[in-house]
Chain A
Amino acid sequence: GAVVSQHPSRVICKSGTSVKIECRSLDFQATTMFWYRQFPKKSLMLMATSNEGSKATYEQGVEKDKFLINHASLTLSTLTVTSAHPEDSSFYICSAMGNNYEQYFGPGTRLTVT
């Protein structure tokens, strides 16, 4: 149980385009999901907390207009990187919080902006 998926696992996009990443909790409902960004061999940086049915809460320094988060259902949150630039290239990881307040992590999405 407690499986979280992400789609796509890898994406390459051109500079200036937008890309959407999906995070799904497959066998449980998650009112809260988290989005992280990770640089090579570095720790996870929390970008935002996503709550079903309400606006996401962004961490300091994260541009909410650039990283759009939508948590439309109890099993799906999406992160859209708008007008992507090469510096947005990174590994993006989501997690979903279960009823026991445990976080279950997705496998990550590798974004490359050319």
Chain B
Amino acid sequence: AQSVAQPEDQVNVAEGNPLTVKCTYSVSGNPYLFWYVQYPNRGLQFLLKYITGDNLVKGSYGFEAEFNKSQTSFHLKKPSALVSDSALYFCAVRDMEGSWGKLQFGAGTQVVVTP
């Protein structure tokens, strides 16, 4: 079965500093990995995905993620965080064993960017 783990409940960073949100995965076969962001009382917004190809994936709002097969990680990064990046971030993996492409979500990481 596919799964992802987000080891940090919360990440605090000062505005302008680099932001990293960690995610590790466990899959059988090739991983299809995603990052989503959620603002309060809103649905999920897609940030980026890794299917195949370059290990460094660039996404929306200046975010990027690096796929590392040896470490089974897919950490989300942003070189310079903004206060508006404060939100809940979810890593997800697509379940390719079952039908309909269900997503398995991590527990989420709350990002707090202070001015």
Q: Are A43 and B42 in contact (CB under 8 A)?
A: no
**Contact across chains for B102 and A108 when beta carbons are under 8 A apart:** no
A107 touches B100 (CB 8 A): no
A contacts, CB < 8 Å to B = 4, 6, 32, 34, 41-44, 46, 49, 51, 57, 91, 93, 95, 97, 101-108, 110
A36 smallest CB distance to B (angstroms): 9
* Interface magnitude class on chain B: 20 to 34
B102 in contact with A46 (CB, 8 Å): yes
> Quick one: given A42-B108, A44-B105, A101-B94, are A91 and B100 in contact (CB under 8 Å)?
no
CB distance from B65 to the nearest CB of A (A): 16
- Inter-chain contact B41/A108, CB cutoff 8 Å: yes
Nearest A residue to B94 via CB reads A101
Distance, CA A76 to CA B107, complexed state (A): 28
Distance from A48 Cβ to chain B, minimum over Cβ atoms (Å):
11
